[in-house]
Chain A
Amino acid sequence: MIANFGYGVLVITFLVTLYSVFAAIYGDRRQIPAMVESARRAMLLTWPLLTLTAGALIYLLINDHYEVQFVYEVTSRSMPTYLKITAWWGGQAGSLLFWSWLMSAFASLVTLRKWDRDREFLPWVIVVACVTMAFFIGMNVFFENPFAQFYQTFDGVKSYNLKPANSILFTPENGQGLNPLLRHPGMIIHPPMLYLGFVSFVIPYAFAIAALITGRTDDRWIRLTRRWTLWAWLFLSFGLVLGGRWAYDVLGWGGYWGWDPVEIAAFMPWLTGTAFLHSVMIQEKRGMLKQWNMILIILTYDLVIFGTFLTRSGVLSSVHAFAQSAIGPLFFAFIGFTLISSIALIIYRWGSLKSETEMTSLLSREALFLLNNLLFMSILVVCFWGVIFPLISELFSGQKVTVGPPFYERATSPLFATLMMLMGIAPLSAWGRSTVKTLGRAIWKPIVGAVVVTAVLFATYTQKIGALIGFFLVALVIFVTIYEYWRGAYARQRSQGENIFTAFWNLTGRDRRRYGGYIIHISMMLMAIGIIGIETFQVETQGTLGQGETISLRNYELTYREIAQWDDLPSGVNYRRAVLDVYEDGEYLGQLAPRIDYYYDSQQNMTIPGQRSTMRDDLYVLLVDWEPATAAGATFKIYVNPLVNWLWLGSLLFLAGIIIAAWPEKERERAAFKAEARVQQQTSAAD
């Protein structure tokens, strides 16, 4: 009953999105504002409708309705209620619905804003948002129905959207349960964050397409969507970081990023999105690169769809591809359709997207931003090629190949290093004109600072040349950024008579985007410290220990003390927990307790590491689950991951930086709006 209700509402929502598309186009072509308004209201209806659908699904999930195939696949009786709710995005059909639901929320939010000055954009924003939604909801309606139920017919038990003739409903006793890897808190928040990032990039894309169609190709669309883009970027970045943290905590390989195709799928729109964030500034300040910005946002949108396609279509099997189905070709067609029609629109408007000004210096801020774009695009090319190469190879030569971390690391590390260097130089260059002389005058102090830091590290920490280059660049960027901050605050202190702390605070408040951006640069460098640490200094060892025996790695010694095994029947989990004493250079530090959790419903193990985290390094101990683990002997895998905590620290600062940059500046905007209105009044009065 509830399942049929949910499916019915889903079908209605699908029809509503289609109506909205047609009404918007019709209303715009025939100049009937009432039709456009009707389209807008139809789009506003999608969120309550999808919320109702989601409510129905959550009801079924919570109340163990195993006659529903999706509920059967992702939950079981032993799962706690909160996990039954989050199982919503734990499988294919549910996560597609989740995508549409978030999309409808964003689409509603964007239509609720004041449209007075941008009426002509409205119908086309509706068209883009609703076509995207219709595609995703259509997937659910026709191929991946989360409400499909099991029916017993003469052919056996199968799932159907509607009750077939001569059948009876079939309800399994218990469900299969969620994959244990997905029960981790990181994995509960990671997909929503990633999807939030994905869907919020649809909004700037929708405005870009609206600008192209209406011919209003000035930078209005960019100003309107600036904050959306920043929030999209925030969610996507945070989603990526959470994914990394999850991998570090549960996948048991001692790392946070494995260059898995599905990780890369989420990373690619981030790359184009980051390039876009930088290059829109050139358009705002200098009226250049209009065509390029359009291309970037179109690429970002299609990479978002491509990312969902890679994770959801089963085209690649990887650790992330938990859910697979035959919806690949449709995704492929949709990507093709949106890409070709968007590019066709750019070509159509090519003339009106010409630059207003010329480039004046190779060292100007805009030239360096372009170089930054080239680097981001280069990393994108490497990633894209790495992801599709196995498919191409299989298609043309029949040979299955793997493109693993060595390829990506080798190909991207020089690009990342150049990017870091650029991060050091660009903030010191000026818009329009910059010469070697002005740049040199600004940069020599930070360079001296970075050389000193590198020399100290060489003497006390490492002689590895790759790591030293990395640390030099990190120090350079941090010094340059601090120097920039200092110059701004100092100028303010002099002109405003503020003390230096107030000056710092007010400076950030006055130009949030710029100084938020600088905080992001610093946070990136902290993250880089973590990455350099784990990539160049990670060590590992594995050994089987009897009780009382010791294994050592670097300065650490670990002694195997005891092991315990017990069942937690209500949760359906069996725990095996080993305890080790940890010593560093003979000094007792405490105990670590790695675990293996065995989930009875899904018959899968989860290895939970014992971790000891400091800013210097992480000691990370795993109980190896394919070997016997008893008091007589258990096999441990031990990693020392130097500096990895800087990665997590950096990501927190990163979050702060984006929030500062994206925080609404209400007063100023209102003032600007008033001023603009006044000018308009005056000019019309003069006419």
Chain B
Amino acid sequence: MGSSRTIFYFVLLTLVLAGFWTIPVSAQGPTPTDDEVNRIAKQLYCPVCESTPLDVCPTEACRQWRDLIRSMLAEGRSEEEIEQYFVEHYGARVLAEPPNRLATYLVPAVAILLGAFMLFRGFRMWMKPSITEAGAADAPPEPEQDPYIAKLEEELRKQK
């Protein structure tokens, strides 16, 4: 009995506060344009349907979220504040990128550098023997003509 009354008062309080919260919206200046709303919605991802940016998501939930962005903009809240609000309420997945940038970028960066390092080590290993051999044996003379053209013409002669 006691708990349901608490819930009732809580709901009532929420509604009253929500009412106060919306009043300044109408009291403020011009309503933000669709473009202003979309500029922020584009940065956010639909919390329900994954992989869909909020500015193009057709669901009713997203429509309400866009309205929420509009009213928050009308209140004068900044882009960061609005993003923060969405992260607090729906989790980090509403952001287009994970909040921990370092973890996201570090692994591929290290993997790529490692790959590059291995490749260049491989190059050096491959090159070494041929450099020593080249001095002694068959160092080819610098071709006078472009090697490609020479090869091409040689092939063409063969096919004739």
Contacts and interface: CB of A to CB of B under 8 A. Distances in A.
A411 B51 CA distance: 18
Interface string A110-154: 000000000000000000000000000000000000000000000
B14 to A, nearest CB: 26
Interface stretch (A327-335, A393-401, A571-579): A393-401
B93 A626 contact: no
A260 B159 CA distance: 50
B88 interface: no
Given A382-B108, A433-B140, A491-B152, A401 B98 contact: yes
Interface in A350-399: 355, 358-360, 362, 367, 370-371, 374, 377-378, 381-382, 385, 389-390, 393, 399
A496 B156 contact: yes
Interface in A311-356: 316-319, 355
A607 B58 CA distance: 10
Interface string B66-102: 0000000000000000000000000111111111000
A360 B135 CA distance: 12
Contact of B45 (A317, A370, A402, A542): A402
A382 B104 CA distance: 10
B96 A402 contact: yes
Q: For the complex, would chain A's binding face be called helix, strand, loop or mixed by DSSP majority?
A: mixed
A402 B50 contact: yes
Contact of A403 (B60, B97, B142): B97
B50 A318 contact: yes
A358 B38 contact: no
Interface stretch (B4-12, B16-24, B112-120): B112-120
A400 B151 CA distance: 58
Nearest to B143: A438
A219 B101 CA distance: 44
Nearest to A253: B56
A403 B101 CA distance: 11
Interface in B33-62: 33-35, 38, 45, 49-53, 56, 58-60, 62
Given A371-B119, A487-B148, A411 B105 contact: yes
Contacts of B151: 430
A381 B153 contact: no
B153 A495 contact: yes
Interface in A253-268: 253, 258, 260-261
Contacts, number: 145
B111 interface: yes
A652 interface: no
A319 B45 CA distance: 13
Contacts of A488: 152
Interface residues on A, range: 35 or more
Given A317-B50, A401-B98, A543-B34, A359 B126 contact: yes
Contacts of A385: 107-108, 111
A199 to B, nearest CB: 26
Interface string B128-160: 011000100000101000111101110111011
A317 B155 CA distance: 55
Nearest to A252: B56
A253 B62 CA distance: 15
B97 A402 contact: yes
A488 B148 CA distance: 9
Contact of A358 (B91, B130, B160): B130
Contacts of A377: 115
Given A438-B147, A635-B34, A381 B108 contact: yes
A284 interface: no
Nearest to A373: B119
Contacts of A430: 147-148, 151
B108 A401 contact: no
A254 to B, nearest CB: 8
A389 B106 CA distance: 12
Contacts of A435: 142
A258 B129 CA distance: 48
Nearest to B134: A360
Nearest to A255: B56
B121 interface: no
Given A359-B127, A360-B130, A495-B156, A403 B104 contact: yes
Contacts of B122: 370
Contacts of A319: 49, 51-52
A540 B98 CA distance: 26
B97 A626 contact: no
Given A258-B51, A411-B105, A491-B152, A402 B94 contact: yes
A609 to B, nearest CB: 12
Contact of B35 (A389, A401, A542): A542
Contacts of B99: 401
Residue among B52, B129, B151 with max Cβ neighbours from chain A (10 Å)? B52
A544 B97 contact: no
A89 B111 CA distance: 37
A442 interface: yes
A251 B51 CA distance: 13
Contacts of B56: 251-253
A378 B115 contact: yes
Given A382-B108, A399-B91, A407 B51 contact: no
A317 B50 CA distance: 6
Given A318-B50, A543-B33, A626-B63, A400 B115 contact: no
A225 interface: no
A684 B134 CA distance: 37
Interface string A21-33: 0000000000000
A406 B105 contact: no
Interface string A431-471: 00111001001100000000000000000000000000000
A488 B142 CA distance: 21
Nearest to A441: B146
A491 B155 CA distance: 11
Contacts of B97: 402-404, 406-407
Contacts of B157: 495
A355 B157 CA distance: 31
Contact of B58 (A541, A543, A626): A626
Given A359-B126, A399-B92, 10 more contacts: A318-B50, A358-B129, A362-B123, A401-B95, A401-B98, A402-B96, A403-B104, A433-B147, A441-B146, A496-B156
Ranked nearest first, the 7 interchain pairs of A and B with the lowest CB-CB distance are A359-B126, A404-B96, A542-B34, A401-B98, A318-B51, A400-B93, A358-B130
12 contacts: A355-B126, A359-B123, A381-B112, A399-B91, A401-B93, A402-B50, A402-B93, A430-B148, A510-B155, A540-B38, A541-B35, A543-B35
Interface of B: 33-35, 38, 45, 49-53, 56, 58-60, 62-63, 91-99, 104-105, 107-108, 111-112, 115-116, 119, 122-123, 126-127, 129-130, 134, 140, 142, 146-149, 151-153, 155-157, 159-160
Interface of A: 251-253, 258, 260-261, 316-319, 355, 358-360, 362, 367, 370-371, 374, 377-378, 381-382, 385, 389-390, 393, 399-407, 411, 428, 430, 433-435, 438, 441-442, 487-488, 491-492, 495-496, 510, 540-544, 605, 607, 625-626, 635
